[in-house]
Amino acid sequence: MKRVFNIQIFSVSLLAVFMIVVGTGSIPPGENEAMKGFTYSAVGGMFEVVFPVQYTEEKTDGEKTQTTKVTADEDGVSYMLSLTKHSEDLSAADPMNLAKVSIEAFAEAAGGKLTKSAEVKCGKHKGMEGTVDLSENSATIAYRVFLVQNYQIQMVAVCMGSKKVSKKAMSFLKSLKIKA
């Protein structure tokens, strides 16, 4: 129960930070010509994501976690990767159940309606994907979450003024590579 609660807290706090703070300080991203974007790599290359534009990075340390938030904005779409390192191994629990809790908590915190939820894979790792409709704000949020070892990887693309997720937003979500 404690792990489920922690995952809910991180999903809710992820949304709060994403909606309020876009990040501080720019870091020089690596250009990725094949994907026409900027590659962000973390944990010695264990996690890699391609952003469509230059990104900013913000790191915070908690009592039992370390979180890195990477954000970018382009043409009415906000992109975010949140990589949270927990003090305990999340895969020792039921990662898919924790992923489901994370996606439900995120939708609830956003005040939107979860219109789609499905299992997804990234290499050998299973995760969850969902679409949240924020009809009051004329926005659609695409969300993916994976739990690998002691890391919670959350990806968000907010498409403002749209009832559907753009192709570019889906390309961002699908660009995740996990080498663990």
pLDDT digits (tens, 9 = 90+) for 80-112: 999 999 998 887 788 899 999 999 999 999 899
Contact 95, 124 (CB under 8 A): no
pLDDT at 31 over 80: no
35-44 residue pLDDT tens: 479 999 999 9
Residue 110: which of 135, 85, 78 has the closest Cα? 135
Residue 169: closest CA among 56, 32, 73: 73
Collapse the DSSP code of 72 into the 3-class scheme (helix H, G, I; strand E, B; otherwise coil) and give the result.
Answer: strand
> What is the rounded distance in angstroms from the CA atom of residue 166 to the CA atom of residue 2?
36
For the whole model, what pTM was predicted? 0.80
Instruction: CATH number of the domain at 161, please.
Output: 3.40.1000.10
Residue 139 has pLDDT above 80, yes or no: yes
pLDDT for position 109: 93
* Spatial distance between the Cα atoms of 24 and 129, rounded to a whole number of angstroms: 27
- In degrees rounded to 5, what are phi and psi of residue 172? -60, -50
Residue 24 carries which DSSP code?
A: S
Give the pLDDT score at 90.
84
Domain of residue 103 covers 2-178
Structural domain total, the chain: 1
Average pLDDT, the chain: 83
